[in-house]
Amino acid sequence: MNNKIIIINGPNLNLLGEREQSQYGSLTFKDLKEICLNKSKELGLNIKFSQSNVEGEIVNTIQESRKNFDGMIINAAAFTHTSVAIRDALSVFKKPIIELHISNIYKREEFRHKSLISDIVNGGIFGLGTDGYILAIIAMQKLLENEN
């Protein structure tokens, strides 16, 4: 059964609840993790919730995920707009990927309007706050269900 998913969070998302609440809301990273784990359990998914501020570590996590996970939800944060290395690693994952952003990146500064990963993922969610994580988990469950 395909039910193992990894949620990868990029730089500064560990500071949720503290950083720019007008963009990212007041939920802390710890609480968000808890909510995601509960939702996944409810849906019969096995999830790992990870975060790193280091580009190379995220590349390593994506590479290692090929063996251990059936699907991926990624909020690459600022690396979304800059990292060819993360894009290239995602290209070899070859399983469902959902791109996620808490804020509406298209309503913000111009440098956030460009995502280097949007054209290689299955789909994306942005601008719906931290609820986007829950929506992404539900969407991933459906993608995996359709594969079985």
CB of 46 within 8 A of CB of 7?
A: no
Q: Which positions from 38 through 97 interact with ligand DQA, judged by CB under 6 A? A: 75, 77-78, 80
Tell me the C-alpha distance between 32 and 55, whole Å: 22
**Cβ at position 44, least distance to ligand DQA in Å:** 26
Closer Cβ to ligand DQA, 5 or 32, answer by number: 32
The question of whether 101 is a catalytic residue gets the answer yes
One-letter amino acid identity for 93?
A: F
Tell me the C-alpha distance between 2 and 17, whole Å: 32
Residue whose tokens read 């070899």? 92
Q: Does 32 bind ligand DQA (CB under 6 A)?
A: no
Catalytic residues: 24, 101
Binding region for ligand DQA (CB under 6 A):
12, 75, 77-78, 80, 101-103, 105, 112
